[in-house]
Structure 1
Amino acid sequence: MKLKKKEKKRNKESFIGVISITNQGYAFVNIENFKKDIFVPKNKINRSLDGDLVKIKLCKKNKKFKIHGEVIKIVKRKNTKFIGILYFCKFQKYGTVIVNSGKIYLEIIISIKQLKNYKENDKVLVKIISWPKKLKNPLGKIIKTFGPFGEYDSEFFSLLEKYKIPFNFSKEAESEAKEILSKKFIDLKNRKDMRNVNTFTIDPLNAKDFDDALSVKKLKSGFWEIGIHISDVSHYIKEDGILDKEAFSRSTSIYFIGKVVPMLPKVLSDDLCSLLPKKDKLSFSFIFNMNEKGNILKSWLGKTIIRSNKKFTYNEVQKIIEEKKGYFHEEINTLFILSNILLEKRLKNGSINIEKDEIRFDLDRKKNPISIYLEKNQDAHRLIEEFMLLTNKKISEFVNKNLEKKKSNRLYIYRVHDVPDTEKILLLKKIIEPLGYLLDIKNIKKSINNLLAKIKGKPEQNMIENLILRSMSKAKYSINNIGHYGLSFIYYTHFTSPIRRYSDIIAHRLLYYYLKVKNLKKCKLKSISYYENQSEYCSFKERIAIDLEREFIKFMQVKFLRKFLGKKFYGIITGFTNWSVYIDLLLFQTEGMIRFCNIKEDNYTFNTENYSMIGKNKKNIHFIGDKIKVKLIDANLEKKQIILDWIGKI
């Protein structure tokens, strides 16, 4: 009896929590001190939207859920502004903005007065101004338009709005940047002059900002002086200035297909700070003598002035490596040989070697995708990568060790990578075994490298590489060094890209401070919490940039595939949910979806025990990695979703 009274009393109480709405329409509310989230049926959500803070009351038990709830009040909206597509209701005195993004589907009513300034099918930013009880849909006000739905610029600017990324710099920041450019002054007193040493940059064809350059000088047979020169951005960007605060707020440049949102104004990123050829440039350099075995004999760190002789593209350097002739061919060939030695040492030490192909597009004048292809990692890319890895490693080692090679206890910003989650590794093992691949849990790194070598060039390569990446922890910035698991480095930082990463500016400032102040007791740095907060923020902004770049790539993929509607393709199963199967289209390296209910050959369900889909009637089983023939039936630009039709196993 007491239990029943307690239950009745609890059912009369109300509770506040955040609602999470599923793709199927029902929801769960997370409430503090409750062991499980409270289930909310579709008809009890009562105008709440995913992420809203809501008040719920508990309802009577039902057969499926012991406790379920009903939303009785929206305490606080997570968002009141949404991005959607404007439609006119021809026979009504209003328009509607349809928001169909992720877990949110809304039809927001717009008064006829507003429609005069906008065009049908515009992608717009709309704000909910009220939601009268008598109306099924909320009333809204259009704040701005991004342009016609489906166009490059419309998607570009709407994504920036969605992720709250500013495109233009503030007037104050632009003004400060122009002032820095006009007052550029080169003080050579504390800089090593490297202008007479052969120096060059190696970058993508369309690159405009050049962070790093390499210099090569032959000393005697088998010995070389190599310089890694990084743009001295921190010389120009003064800490706590207007420009510094805005650069920190952005924290990273964001690279779209055909466009860049820079961390610094272009007068700095593309001009003053960029290591352009035939111009005197300030840099922060790591210079070392290396023998033919790839051993560093001595090294120097400090500020320099350089003058790049040549701006190479990766393709130009690749041609020089292959043909062993051309401008600076001896220097480039030497760097190539040494980079291979560095790579071999790194892999021997346990570094995981994932070289994913990059998706690239050819665009027409209106920036519509006209072709899609994969860019492979060539020798020229690996050359640059190995020397940048070496620099980042050696600089963090220098900060950590004093002259006696003992731990220095200096504060620094590290690029850290934790060990992988055991459950994720076991799941990876479970998924790849039906494909004939094994994973040794006792020696994960070596086993993963062996797996990567075995799948190279095979149809399942992209799929398995993605599974490996998902099983790994996410790299981040921190002042607490735990090492870098993936690279097998005890010490690692990001130092080599200060034009496009604020973390590198922090690394430059701290390193220069330690070079100037030899006695640790005299250091007058900001608080530990200050640098940890900066590290966490840089990690946060990096994740946003990655998500944004991926979403834009998906938009371009879907847009390109619209011209192939009705065509048949080969694909590989890459994953399952309880309701659907995901297929990677091999020709485009693009993932599409098929709902189980739309597969005509059988009634399929997801089997979690062996990570497969199994047919109820014919008992056919399909695993991740199985090759499938499919038909492209829809390419939804709004949802950035590719819908396929199942034809059958190959």
Structure 2
Amino acid sequence: MTTRPRVGRLERTRFGYGFVRVGEGEDDLFVPPFAMGGALHGDLVVARYLETRREGDAHEIVEVLERSLAGIVGRLEPRGRMTLLLPERPEYPREILLTLHGRSSVPRGGRVVVRLDLKPPEPLQGKVIAVLGTDDAREDSWVVALEEGIRTEFDSQALAEAASHDESSVARAAHGRADFRNDIVLTIDPEDAKDHDDALSVRRSAHGAHEVGIHIADVSHYVSPGGALDLEAQARGNSAYLADATYPMLPEALSGGLCSLVEGKDRLTLSLVVDLDEEGTVGKSRLVSGIVRSNASLSYPEAARLGREGGDGIPASLALLDRIARGLRRRRMEEGGLDMDLPEIRARLDERGEPHRFEETKRLPTHELVEEYMLLANRIVGGRALAKEVPFFYRVHERPRYDKLRAFFDAARYLGRSGAVPFVTEAKQLRRWATSGKTTRDRIVNLYLLRAMEKARYDLVDVGHFGLGMRGYAHFTSPIRRYADLANHRIVKRYLLDGAKPGGDPWAFADGWMSAGVASHISSTEMTADDAERAVLKLKAVRYAQLRLGEEARGTIVGLSPGGLFVFLEGWFIEGFLPKRAIGDPSLTLAEHGFSFRSKRTRHRLGLGDPVDVVVARADLERREIELGLRTRAARRPKHPGRAKTKARGGRQGKRR
């Protein structure tokens, strides 16, 4: 227990309580609903110890240092000179009274996005940053981006700086670069990718070691330190990829144009050329400024198909790259690291932005192929920076805390795993506890393991990457969409290229764009983008559920809280909440371990990983909640959602399969 005041960001939950996140490797501070002290979700606050409860220490907010930059979506009601904001998200209070600038442009009861002033005066002050119209699914990503504080428009000076470059700039910069335009160069990306950071090439050797080229877009050629583009990219930190919109780190003229390694166009690169054999043995490497011309921009499925079909040219290159990548993967797993299979869920949308289905993205061999070469490049370049002792943004991942691992082992044992609990010093010790992820119960185990892990972040000090089992690991391969990679490229070009003649103090060179403060900021913007991605997916899930009110589904319990059960709906690939009150058994009690409810009346148990038949009871778009009910045996599924009819007065709807 610590009684001294602590500073951190407040994360409130929909249940009223919250946690103050005080830093990496430290316990979050629990704050009960009555101890918020006027603080709102996302605020920077000072918290101090309040009392010790059976569940642990409780804290109270004693000061709000800074309001969140996030927007608050809600409706307005005038209160004289003041305004009552009625937020939609349950993480906020139901009413916020404030002085609001720009209220006159909003009709009574209008729906808006409000941003509070950073410095917290009393009473609260804020301004309207967007007026929302009637509900439009095509605006979901835009609204969430405003809520999360993601920039949706570029500064005019940044746009002008990006537009000042044209195709002729590539030819002017080609002199003195290694020329890979006669090689078969391939990009492999998601089907909807617009920015192509990386490409691969391979020169076959009859003597065992092949020369693999890992070509990364030379974004730093166009983005100078301290310029308008640089300041914009640093503020954004990274691109945000949401369900129906992308908010890139750089303007389209660069992110989808001059920097993108598009098919048939000459493009500038930083290229790592590595000698590799099919057993994964890494030979000599060289790091050079290059110029490439992509022969084909392939999607993961296209590349997988070409590799299977075989043939000369591109299929032969893919087949050889795949064999080498398999060797790299075998060797990497022998050395250490942990590989967890957590499938990504994507919403398939129609032209109106409405979801017509959710699906898991299938992991193909080509995903692993690209992943291995990117990991290799990041490791080699990061290792060079570490050896040279130059400033660099390392990707660090601390060892998980014992209490979090203990909670994971408890959950894994509840779900059927067995064995002695190890004292974990290396990630590979956790492999036997991770699963293939083929069933929902397997995925729950992997999800709990992921929650036990610390969040990866950026730092100027390399403390290693626990999950990968690597030291000297840094991000280098995605400079179009990550500021860390862009900043690292500047150091690479000045101090780490083969044949480079570095001059001057590297720390003075990096001043202003590579610092501990920037590392913390871009780590934060990455988490913001992840939060926004999940929030949009949740919005789409609620829209999907709205069309299926009254329908039944088979689900699996994936989490529990004192208020009820979180249920993953099989086949629908969305999650809903089954309130304890909806189960109809007041004797239900949450077990001490927290993994099941047990009925004192019937002795029936509802626990983590158990199947449960539910019905969609409510889908609240404003509060982003899907509430489920427990299906009774007498219930029958409607065959056609939204238009089932009863056969007799008072009859129930038919089943839908």
> Normalized against structure 2, the TM-score is what?
0.81
Does structure 1 residue 615 correspond to structure 2 residue 599? yes
Report what 1:474 is aligned to. Answer: 455
Q: CA deviation at 1:151?
A: 2.6
1:525 to 491, 507, 514: 507
2:301 to 302, 315, 324: 315
Contact residue 106 and residue 131 of structure 2 kept, 8 A: no
Q: CA deviation at 1:275?
A: 0.7
SS at match of 2:338: coil
Does structure 1 residue 297 correspond to structure 2 residue 269? no
Structure 2 runs not aligned, ≥5 long: 1-6, 22-27, 634-657
Change (3 A) 1:266 1:599: same
Q: CA deviation at 1:356?
A: 1.9
Give the partner amino acid of 2:546: R
Does structure 1 residue 388 correspond to structure 2 residue 369? no
Give the partner amino acid of 1:424: K
Report what 1:555 is aligned to. Answer: 539
- 2: CA distance, partners of 1:509 / 1:536: 19
Q: How many residue pairs get matched? A: 605
Q: CA deviation at 1:446?
A: 4.0
- 1: CA distance, partners of 2:196 / 2:46: 53
SS at match of 1:210: coil
Report what 1:167 is aligned to. Answer: 152
Report what 2:625 is aligned to. Answer: 641
Instruction: After superposing the two structures, state which structure 1 stretch, 513-522 or 632-641, moved more.
Output: 513-522
1:417 to 393, 397, 420: 397
- 2: CA distance, partners of 1:424 / 1:282: 45
1:537-576, Cα deviation, whole Å (9 max, x unpaired): 2111111111111111111111112211111112222222
1:157 to 119, 137, 142: 142
1:141-156 superposed matches below 5 A: 144-149=130-135, 151-153=137-139, 155-156=140-141
SS at match of 2:382: helix
Contact residue 395 and residue 459 of structure 2 kept, 8 A: yes
The structure that has the greater radius of gyration is: 1
Report what 1:99 is aligned to. Answer: 87
Query: RMSD in angstroms over aligned alpha carbons?
Result: 4.2
Report what 1:6 is aligned to. Answer: none
SS at match of 1:645: strand
1:179-328 superposed matches below 5 A: 179-181=164-166, 184-185=169-170, 186-325=172-311, 328=314
1:518-597 superposed matches below 5 A: 522-526=504-508, 530-597=514-581
Contact residue 124 and residue 147 of structure 1 kept, 8 A: no
- 1: CA distance, partners of 2:46 / 2:406: 40
- 1: CA distance, partners of 2:33 / 2:517: 40
Does structure 1 residue 373 correspond to structure 2 residue 359? yes
Q: CA deviation at 1:208?
A: 1.1
Q: CA deviation at 1:486?
A: 0.6
SS at match of 1:525: helix
- 1: CA distance, partners of 2:59 / 2:208: 76
1:582-608, Cα deviation, whole Å (9 max, x unpaired): 112222332221222332145222223
Give the partner amino acid of 2:519: S
Give the partner amino acid of 2:287: L
Does structure 1 residue 178 correspond to structure 2 residue 167? no
Structure 1 runs not aligned, ≥5 long: 1-15, 31-35, 402-407
- 2: CA distance, partners of 1:534 / 1:512: 20
Give the partner amino acid of 1:100: E
Q: CA deviation at 1:222?
A: 3.5
Q: CA deviation at 1:389?
A: 0.6
Does structure 1 residue 514 correspond to structure 2 residue 495? yes
- 1: CA distance, partners of 2:320 / 2:394: 30
Does structure 1 residue 492 correspond to structure 2 residue 478? no
Contact residue 199 and residue 213 of structure 1 kept, 8 A: yes
Change (3 A) 1:354 1:272: same
Change (3 A) 1:127 1:173: closer
- 1: CA distance, partners of 2:379 / 2:95: 50
Give the partner amino acid of 1:99: P
Q: CA deviation at 1:325?
A: 4.0
SS at match of 2:212: strand
Identity of aligned residues (%): 28
Change (3 A) 1:76 1:513: closer
Change (3 A) 1:521 1:152: closer
SS at match of 2:273: strand
Report what 2:331 is aligned to. Answer: 345
Contact residue 553 and residue 569 of structure 2 kept, 8 A: yes
Contact residue 573 and residue 582 of structure 1 kept, 8 A: yes
Change (3 A) 1:584 1:483: same
Contact residue 437 and residue 446 of structure 2 kept, 8 A: no
1:20-169 superposed matches below 5 A: 78=67, 83-86=72-75, 98-101=86-89, 102-106=91-95, 118=107, 122-125=111-114, 144-149=130-135, 151-153=137-139, 155-169=140-154
Change (3 A) 1:545 1:80: closer
2:416 to 436, 459, 466: 436
Report what 1:8 is aligned to. Answer: none
- 1: CA distance, partners of 2:503 / 2:116: 55
SS at match of 2:489: helix
- 2: CA distance, partners of 1:388 / 1:19: 35
SS at match of 1:442: coil
Does structure 1 residue 329 correspond to structure 2 residue 329? no
Change (3 A) 1:537 1:47: closer
1:472-522, Cα deviation, whole Å (9 max, x unpaired): 111111111111111111221110000000100111111122136968885
Does structure 1 residue 464 correspond to structure 2 residue 451? no
Contact residue 160 and residue 167 of structure 1 kept, 8 A: yes
2:590 to 577, 581, 606: 606
SS at match of 1:168: coil
Q: CA deviation at 1:426?
A: 0.8
- 2: CA distance, partners of 1:550 / 1:51: 16
Change (3 A) 1:170 1:433: same
- 2: CA distance, partners of 1:495 / 1:169: 24
Instruction: After superposing the two structures, state which structure 1 stretch, 96-105 or 369-378, moved more.
Output: 96-105
SS at match of 1:564: coil
Q: CA deviation at 1:248?
A: 0.7
Contact residue 596 and residue 603 of structure 1 kept, 8 A: no
- 2: CA distance, partners of 1:26 / 1:310: 52
Contact residue 82 and residue 126 of structure 1 kept, 8 A: yes
Q: CA deviation at 1:124?
A: 4.4
Q: CA deviation at 1:110?
A: 11
- 2: CA distance, partners of 1:345 / 1:593: 43
Q: CA deviation at 1:322?
A: 2.6
- 2: CA distance, partners of 1:202 / 1:54: 44
SS at match of 2:539: helix
Contact residue 70 and residue 147 of structure 2 kept, 8 A: no
- 2: CA distance, partners of 1:140 / 1:335: 55
Instruction: After superposing the two structures, state which structure 1 stretch, 219-228 or 556-565, moved more.
Output: 219-228
